[in-house]
Structure formats: structure tokens, C-alpha cells
Structure 1
């Protein structure tokens, strides 16, 4: 007889984001921001990456943010927009002024990793690529390492797909750091296909329908 035992059922559940989850989402974001690895200490402030890739979605479109909670602790999230052009307009109108004291626009070409990120912050229009027009929604999804590879990412993504479809988006895209091999396998398994984009830089663009 095999001595293997069946792992206990997961206690993790998905629920809508609440304002009280803000700090936990920021913590997860920075712990996974270096192509899936921990980016704490990489920039002058550990809030820099979350302020670009989590905070604006929580502020502008909290209804499309969901968290994975396990025994009272937030251990993952998915967030995004169903309307990338609308999000870009709101980012410039509301989010950049909101953080103006914290992140002034760099003068000249970026010279440091922090300035490279700030250049992205001040140029949200970089998200508006013609090749992505047919995929108006986009998302960011992150899980703490101990909760990866257990089906939670699929569940989070499916929750976002359903919400984006209800909001009117026929398809969505992700801009994935090409070096993040683990993430690429995840998206491949969930039916994402490469969207050809000329000169994509460090990113690979993937898309699929919301249905």
C-alpha cells in the first residue's frame, strides 16, 4: 500500500478587494516584482513597483480587483481593467497628480532603475499599442510563492475573466516580462496566445478571449 497521503483541501478563498487589503496587495506586489522574484530593496522605495502596477488599479477600478485569502491572510490577487484606453486616460488625469509629490517626472533620459520606472509612470500611453486594440482588458496577477502551483492562479484569472466579460471586454492581454519563464507556462496552460508586437522590449504580449 502506498504511504502517500492526500493533501488537505485548500482553505484559500477568492473574494472582492477591500480597502483594508491595500497594504497586503502592495506587499505581494513587491515580493513578486522582479520577474516573479522578490524586489524588496531593489529600488529606493519598496512602494515604487506597487505604485505603478497595483495602486492605480485599486484606486481607479477596485471593482475589478480580487484577492486570495487563506486563514485570514491575503496571499494573492488579480486586478486590472476592462478598458485599457479609459484606464490610461484616468491614470494621467488622476493617478499621476495624486503621486506628484512622491514621483516628479525625471529630467532627461533615465539613468537609474528608479528613473526607468518613473519614466513608465509618467508615460501611461505606452499601454496603447495598436496590436492590442482587439484585447481591451488587461490584468496583473501575483501570488506569494507558497501559494503558487496549486491552482489558485487559474481560479483568480477565471474570476477576472468573468468580471471583465460582464464589463464588456471581449478579450484581454497581459504584458509579461519575457524572463519570467514560470509565468509564461501559466499563461500557456490557460489558453493565451502570443500577440505579435514590433519591438516589444523586455515584454512578451499574450492574449485570449474573456469567454
Structure 2
């Protein structure tokens, strides 16, 4: 069974709770078409999330033995928690961005990233990183 909430539990909601000043929703004609969110300090986020976010959620999503479904893979990630990549000392912030197809190829993604990075600069943060799947060719082309 697919639990559609789990994606938001992992990639969106903890950021809104941890650092809401770094969360924006792109709305066009009263319809949400995308978002950008993240944290200025990946290490602090990982520590906070492990205790305050993943801990309670893990009680609702017991670890799965096999990771043969998408939901089980996401539960596995939840039990691992956010893993701070090695070698990001100069890029302590990280972000997640997602736009629906209707919001893509219009410059809005670049606009969201500009807003996010400008806010980081105001906070004195000079570097940001993100992960992208090798299979996500549209995103790779965008970045």
C-alpha cells in the first residue's frame, strides 16, 4: 500500500517546522504550482529532525524488513534520518525545490532559487547544496 503522505513527511514538513523562514510556495491563479524550502544549517537540521521529527514518526512507521516498494524505501529513509553529505563544510545550507509541470520552463524555478539564496545571504550563509537523482534529467539540465 502506498502512503502518499510519507513523501511530505520526509521532504517538506520537517523544514516548515524547523526553519519556516526558508519556505516558499509558488501560487499562480490561486493554485499552488511549486515550492522551495530548506535549511541554513544541515547539521543542526539533522540533529533536530532526528529527535523532534523522525523520532515520533518512526513510531507510526515501523521499520520494514524489505525495501521492495516505494513506501518501504521511504520508511527506510525515515529511519535513517537526514544524512548530511560529506564535504559540504562550505555549503552548510540545503534546499528542496519542486514545481508541477505547469510551473516548469517559465523561469519560476530560477526565481524561487534566487529568493531562497538571497535569504541565505541575508542570514550570512554563503553556500547551499542539494541532491538530485541521476534519473531526473530535467532537473540536472535546470541546475
TM exceeds 0.5?
Answer: yes
Instruction: Kindly indicate whether the alpha-carbon contact (under 8 Å) linking 1:56 and 1:95 is maintained by their aligned counterparts in 2.
Output: yes
Measured against aligned partners, the alpha-carbon deviations of 1:38-94 in whole angstroms (never above 9, x if no partner) come to xxxxx6111111111111111211110011111222211100001000000111011
Query: 1:183 — aligned with what?
Result: 139
Distance 1:173 1:166 in 2: 17
Give, in whole Å, the separation in 1 of the partners of 2:54 and 2:34. Answer: 26
SS of residue in 2 equivalent to 1:170: coil
Gaps of 5+ in 2: none
Structure 1 length as normaliser, TM-score?
Answer: 0.63
Q: Which structure exhibits the higher relative contact order, with contacts defined as CA atoms closer than 8 Å and separated by 6 or more residues?
A: 2
Per-residue CA deviation, residues 114-147 of structure 1 (Å, 9 max, x unaligned), is: 2221111111252x22222221111011111011
Matched, 1:82 2:82: no
CA distance in 1, matches of 2:70, 2:32: 29
Structure 1 residue ranges without an equivalent (≥5): 1-42, 188-211
Q: Alignment partner of 1:139: what SS?
A: strand
Q: Which residue does the alignment assign to 2:106?
A: 150
Structure 1 residue 118 and structure 2 residue 82: aligned? no
Q: Distance in 2 between matches of 1:142 and 1:125?
A: 18
Write 1 or 2 for the structure with the bigger share of helix.
2
1:96 to partner: Cα distance: 1.3
Larger radius of gyration: 1
TM-score, reference length from structure 2? 0.91
For residues 143-173 of structure 1, the C-alpha deviation after alignment (integer angstroms, 9 at most, x for no partner) is 1101110000010000000112222321011
Superposed CA RMSD = 1.6
Indicate conservation of the 8 Å contact 1:137/1:173, yes or no.
Answer: yes
Q: Per-residue deviation at 1:112?
A: 3.2
C-alpha separation between the residues in 2 aligned to 1:110 and 1:59?
28
Aligned length: 143
